[in-house]
Amino acid sequence: MAGYDYVVIGGGSAGCTLAARLSEDPAATVCLLEAGGANKDMLVRMPAGVGSLIKSKNKHNWGFWTEPEPHLDNRRLWWPRGKGLGGSSAINGMIYMRGHPQDYDEWRQTGLAGWSWDDVLPYFRRLEGHHRGESGGLHGTNGPLTVSGGENDSPFHDALIAAGEQAGYPVTSDFNGAVMEGFGRYDLTIANGQRWSTAEAYLRPVQARPNLTVITGARTTRIVVEGGRAVAVEYIVGNKPARVEVAGEALLCAGAVQSPQILQLSGIGDPARLKDAGVRAIHDLPGVGENLQDHLDIIMHWRCHGLTTAYSATKGLRQLKVGLEYMLRGTGYGRQQFLESGAFVCSRPGLVRPDVQIHAVLAIMKDHGKQQVKQDGFSFHLCQLRPESRGRVTVASADPLADPLIFANYLSQQEDIRVMRECVKIGRDVAAQAALDPYRDDELSPGGDVRSDAEIDAWVRRTAETIYHPVGTCKMGTDGDRMAVVDARLKVRGLEGLRVVDASVMPTLVGSNTNAPTIMIAEKAADMIRERAMAPA
């Protein structure tokens, strides 16, 4: 068999986007391999289903755990990652954020030509079908990814924004607009009350193309490299091994955890680490799996009254009512994920861009929703946007079905613990403002017994968790960067016919949710791969 022009490994946020864009060319043949399923069931479609998707290992969620984290009381942290078409865009909180322009300008300043804000903005515009309109050229209106405003009419959101203003912070009308900093309402990847993953936005409308083959339930085990070129991809369907030939390029889109794992299983990485795992090294690339970055998150809780929260909307038989109403009519609380407002603020004076993000949730969220809390309340998720700590992802063994070892190395740098400490102080300050007086009751967590810096630090180490934004494990870099895995055109260094296209290529973590930037990377990569002219800056 001659093979496919493009073999896309992983049907997530980047993979679905890439498969759809590359198959626009009728002369090109595209094969998409996805380890999970189609992700068509109601739990995925219904925005309110996010809590069930995130909290447990299931057919939609790989459900990874980190290694013991030494600076978080040696706890193993739960790491949900999306499985099935749409990947993490099929299980995430549906927040649409692009990051701060300076995040991308910094990429360009390290020598990565074509990755400045002016370079990437046209690709964000290309992917967006934005409810705000063009907004002076900052948004797109005809893209496949519907970006909507929230539907929740709770007075909590306006009260939160007013509380932020009373605490001395700005207010912004559009986090993705001219001014990111401040309190405001989030844009959402929800279309007419339905989660709009990349599977819905990009893949399903074009899946019948004769030049596009989508294989689900296909767990990639190895990229076959011969003579310095990727020539095939091996995978398992059920218990049966299979292989697809690569006539042009293999495009690895398995995410920040599994892209480095697949490279390592293929013998591409640090020879010493591969030897320890029992894998024969074929290509020395020491940066594979290194440079792991993630947003560490604390969750503060308050009881409340006078508000319809996720608990009061779904308690008892109301949960059945919510599901039936959504299934039969597409209406009701099932259309909402109870997270529509928040903020981007600075932890100290003198910063040129926010380093703290707040997600305000109309629910008391504990341990990723694993613990059910049967009372009304609201939560502030506060995360540090630009951590200095770096971790790694490493294969545990030569077994391609074994989970990789994830060592995030959170809070290994002093600046990171300082920012997390300030997050608690910021959250308390905002919650104490008069605008929230009609609704706020007592603080449940951290609670009144956590006051001093030492007590706050101990609470952070005891309770902090991921907010699901890992990146950087196959970083882009210039020729002089020995730890770079791919170049500015996302080609794996020293090999032909192989690129990585997903969040793992980010050299540094953007200061926001990471789904939209991942889709942007895939949109830009499609032009690179097809050797089309780049969208004008």
pLDDT of residue 534: 80
pLDDT level of residue 372 (50, 70, 90 thresholds): confident
Q: Token pair for residue 7? A: 């073999």
Question: Is there a domain that residue 389 lies in?
Answer: no
Tokens of 279: 């894998």
Percent of the chain clearing pLDDT 90 (strictly above): 96
Q: Contact 502/10 with Cβ under 8 angstroms?
A: yes
3-state DSSP of 393-410: EECCCCCCCCCCEEECCC
Please indicate, yes or no, whether residues 428 and 329 belong to a single structural domain of this protein: yes
Q: Among 403, 433, 463, which residue terminates a domain?
A: 463
Residue 515 pLDDT exceeds 80: yes
Tell me the two tokens of residue 435.
């605008």
Per-residue pLDDT, 532: 83
pLDDT averaged over every residue in the chain = 97
Question: 209 is in which domain, residue-wise?
Answer: 1-61+79-144+190-287+471-537
Domain stop point among 419, 444, 463: 463
Whether 353 is in a domain gets the answer: yes
Number of folded domains in the chain? 2
Task: Determine, yes or no, domain membership for 394.
Answer: no
- 34 and 50 in one domain? yes
- Residue 391 domain-assigned? no
Q: Are residues 213 and 361 in the same domain?
A: no
Tell me if 1 is assigned to some domain. Answer: yes
Q: Tell me the CATH number at 51.
A: 3.50.50.60
> In whole angstroms, what is the distance from residue 81 CA to residue 469 CA?
10
Model pTM? Answer: 0.98
Q: How far is residue 513 from each of residues 21, 93, 99, measured CA to CA in Å?
A: 23, 10, 7
Omega of the bond prior to 349 within 30 degrees of 0, cis? no
First to last CA, the chain: 41
Tracing tokens 């604390």 back to the chain, one arrives at 298
In this model, does residue 1 exceed pLDDT 70? no
What does DSSP assign to residue 370? T
Report H helices in 379-514: 414-431, 453-463
Domain boundary among 443, 463, 483: 463
60 phi and psi angles, rounded to 5 deg: -100, -10
For residue 533, give the DSSP letter: P
Nearest to 32 by CA among 207, 196, 198: 207
Burial of 67 (0-12, 13-18, 19+ CB in 10 A): middle
pLDDT grade for 77, boundaries at 50, 70 and 90: very high
Contact 77, 65 (CB under 8 A): yes
Is 469 one of the catalytic residues?
yes
Do 229 and 103 lie in a common domain? yes
pLDDT (tens digit per residue) in 78-106: 999 999 999 999 999 999 999 999 999 99
Claim to verify: residue 136 and residue 1 sit in the same structural domain: yes
Task: State whether 512 and 527 are in the same domain.
Answer: yes
- The pLDDT of residue 412: 98
pLDDT digits (tens, 9 = 90+) for 244-283: 999 999 999 999 999 999 999 999 999 999 999 999 999 9
Catalytic residue, chosen from 71, 157, 359, 469, is: 469
Over residues 507-533, mean pLDDT? 96
Among the ranges given (196-205, 265-274, 310-319, 348-357), the one the predictor scored with the smallest mean pLDDT: 310-319
Exposure b/e, 319-357, CB count within 10 A at least 16 = b: eeebbeebeeeeebbbbbbbbbbbbbbbbeeeeebbbbb
Distance CA 291, CA 273 (A): 15
Q: Please provide residue 296's backbone torsions phi and psi, each rounded to the nearest 5 degrees.
A: -85, 140
Quote the pLDDT of residue 316. 87
pLDDT in the model for residue 141: 97
CATH number of the CATH domain containing 418:
3.30.410.40
Dist. CA 408–CA 295, nearest whole Å:
10
Check pLDDT > 60 for residue 31: yes
Q: Which helix (H) or strand (E) is 487 found in, with range?
A: none
Phi, psi of 245 (to 5 degrees): -80, 150
Looking at the fold, whether 353 and 483 belong to one and the same domain comes out as no
HEC sequence for 17-83: HHHHHHCCCCCCCEEEEECCCCCCCHHHHCHHHHHHHHHCCECCECCEECCCECCCCCECCEECCEC
Residues 169 and 25 in one domain: no
Angstrom distance (rounded) from CA 180 to CA 128: 18
In a domain, 53, yes or no: yes
pLDDT at 516 over 70: yes
Closest Cα partner for 446 from 423, 415, 469? 423
The predicted model gives 146-171 an average pLDDT of 97
Distance (Å) of CA 377 to CA 95, 151, 185: 21, 19, 19
- Cα dist from 143 to 146, 226, 318, 520, whole Å: 7, 39, 36, 12
Sole residue written with tokens 């902090």? 464
Indicate whether 108 and 245 sit together in one domain: yes
β strands within 89-167, DSSP E: 95-96, 128-130, 145-147
- Residue type (1 letter), 90: A
Both 273 and 420 in one domain: the answer is no
List pLDDT tens digits, range 285-304: 999 999 999 999 999 999 99
Q: Is residue 125 part of a domain?
A: yes
421 shares its domain with 535: no
pLDDT for residue 101: 98
Q: Are the beta carbons of 53 and 43 closer than 8 angstroms?
A: yes
- DSSP per residue, 212-276: EEEEESEEEEEEEEETTEEEEEEEEETTEEEEEEEEEEEEE-SHHHHHHHHHHHTTEE-HHHHHH
250 occurs within a structural domain: yes
Q: Quick one: pLDDT band at residue 353, thresholds 50, 70, 90?
A: very high
53 and 104 housed in the same domain: yes
pLDDT at 244: 98
Token representation of residue 510? 């953007």
**Alpha-carbon span 309 to 332, nearest angstrom:** 13
Residues 424-449 have pLDDT tens digits of 999 999 999 999 999 999 999 999 99
pLDDT for residue 311 is more than 90? yes
Residue type for position 164? G
Separation between Cα atoms, residue 503 and residue 517, nearest integer Å: 8
Token code pair at residue 140 = 């797109």
Does the pLDDT at position 507 exceed 70? Answer: yes
Tokens describing residue 507: 């050299």
